[in-house]
Amino acid sequence: MDVSTLSPMRLEFLRRAEWRREEERRSVERDQKQRKDREDRERREDIADDIDMVVSVLATESEIAEFAVTLDTYDAATIEALQENDEALREVREELDRMLELAYVLPDGRRVFKTEDGLRVFDENGVEVTDFDPEEIEDSRPRYEAFLEATKRDQQLVEERNELFEYQSDLDEARERLDDDDLTHEELEELKAALERDKPDAVKRALGEETEPAPVIEGEAEFDPALLSPLRPRPLGP
C-alpha cells in the first residue's frame, strides 16, 4: 500500500491499529509466560510435597513394636548398671569410712595421712600439713595415696550414677514419644541413633557390649603429692 497517498487521519488510524496489534501480541506472550511460570512453580511444589511425603512417612507398627523391645532391653540394662553402681559406691564409702577411722587425728581434730614415701602429710581434704612431723604417724595407718584412690573412685561412681539417671530419663522420653500418632520413620531412626550414641559405658557392660578400654600406663608413675592438694573427697552418705 502506498501510504503517501493516504490522508493524515487514515495514517493515524493505521498507526493506532498497528500499536494495538503489537500490544495484543505482547499481552498474549506475557500471559503465556505467566502461565508457564505458574505451571513450573506448581510442578516444583508438587515434587517438594512428594519428597516431604516420602521423608515424613509415619513409622509402622512393627517398627514401633521393635523399638519398644529395644527400650525394654536398654531400661533393664540401665537398672542393672544402677544396682551395680549402688553396690560399688557402698563398698568404696565403707572403705573411706574405715580409712578415716584409722587415720591419725591432730589435736585440732583434723584426720591426716602420711604419703607412701613418708615425707609429707595431707589431711582428709587434700591440704598439706607442713607443721607436723610425718614420723609421728605410725606406718600401720592408711597412706594418703590409698585414701586418694578411694576418693577418686567415689567421684567416678557418682558421675557414673548421674549419667545413668540421665540416660534413664532419655529412655522414658523416647517411650513417651512412641505413643504419639504422628511419629515418623525418620524421627524413630533419630531416637535410635541418639540412644545408641549416648549409651553409658555401664549400660554397655550390662548388655555385654564392648567399651573403650582405659588408658594403659606403662610402668609406675612417680607420685607427686603436690598434684593432690586441689582434690577433695566427696561427702560420705547417699
The phi-psi region of residue 2 (left if phi > 0; otherwise alpha if psi is between -120 and 50; otherwise beta) is beta
| pLDDT, position 153 | 96
Q: Is the pLDDT of residue 17 over 70?
A: no
Residues 48-66: tens digit of each pLDDT: 555 554 456 888 999 999 9
The Cα–Cα gap between 140 and 112 comes to 13
Q: pTM to 2 decimals?
A: 0.67
Longest dimension (CA), the chain: 137
pLDDT digits (tens, 9 = 90+) for 144-158: 999 999 999 999 999
Confidence of residue 29 (pLDDT cuts 50, 70, 90): confident
Domains of the chain by residue range: 3-53, 59-210+220-227
Q: Which has the higher per-residue pLDDT, 185 or 4?
A: 185
Which of 171, 128, 124 minimizes the C-alpha distance to 151? 124
